[in-house]
Each structure stands twice: as structure tokens, then as C-alpha cells.
Amino acid sequence: MARKATGKSDGKSGKGTRRSAAAPGTKIARVSSKGAGGSKGNGFDASEAFVKLLQSPLMAELVAVAATAALAALAEQGFTSSSGSRGKRAGSAVKAAGKAAAAAVGRRLSTEMEEIRKAAAKGGAKA
């Protein structure tokens, strides 16, 4: 049964009666996480960089490449595999789909890195 709310506090509940370790009237300086650590001088924010990476067209393309490769591998496993139990076939199909997706992403990333190297070499020769 619920207790009736009263105006006085008996000290047993922690609500509203929490005290800090500092003496009354002492102000405590708060430090934000943006200015703390090694990011004081350079202004680099890892969370913003990660969000920008996720929003980049390259990430969307990598997800599409991985999904296409995984779907193709799943379809191939479904059509060609007739031996084994259903659970083993499903497990091997998922394993093959994961390998295909990883290989496709690896190929796409290596192509992208090669294009960046070529562009840097071309830009470096001109400058």
C-alpha cells in the first residue's frame, strides 16, 4: 500500500536530499567533454567525424555492394545446395553470404584506395 506524501523528509529516501561533498556555498567548476582530453588544441571531434563517415556516399555504396553480394551468395546456395539438413544448408548459406559481402567490400575499398593514390600522385606531380 502506498504511503501518503508529506512535506517533511525522514532522511531515508535519497530523493531531493542529496548533498555534494563540497561545503555549502562552494562552487564547483564543471568541465565539458568537448574541451577535455587531447582535443583541446586541434578541435577534432571523433563523434562528428564518425557521423560524417556514416553519411558519406562511400558508406552507402559499400552497404549496397555488400548487400548485393550477400544476396547473390544466398541465392546461389539456395539453388545449388541440395545435400545436408535444412539447418546446415542455412548456416552454410549465411557463412557464404558473409564471405561474399566481405570480399566485395574489400574489392571496392581497394579500388577506392587505388583511385585516391592515383589522384594524389597526379596532384603531387603538378604541385
Residue 64 lies in a domain: yes
Kindly give the parts of the chain with pLDDT less than 50: 19-20, 31, 35-39
Residue 38 lies in a domain: no
* Own/partner pairs, 99-105, CB within 8 angstroms, 24+ separation: 99/73, 100/69, 100/70, 100/72, 100/73, 101/65, 101/66, 101/67, 101/69, 101/70, 101/73, 102/66, 103/69, 104/65, 104/66, 104/68, 104/69, 105/62, 105/65, 105/66, 105/69
- Tell me the whole-structure pTM to 2 decimals: 0.52
Residue 22 lies in a domain: no
- pLDDT for 20: 47
Q: What is the domain extent for residue 68?
A: 46-126
- pLDDT for 39: 47
pLDDT tens for residues 5-31? Answer: 665 555 555 555 554 455 555 555 554
Structural domain count of the chain: 1
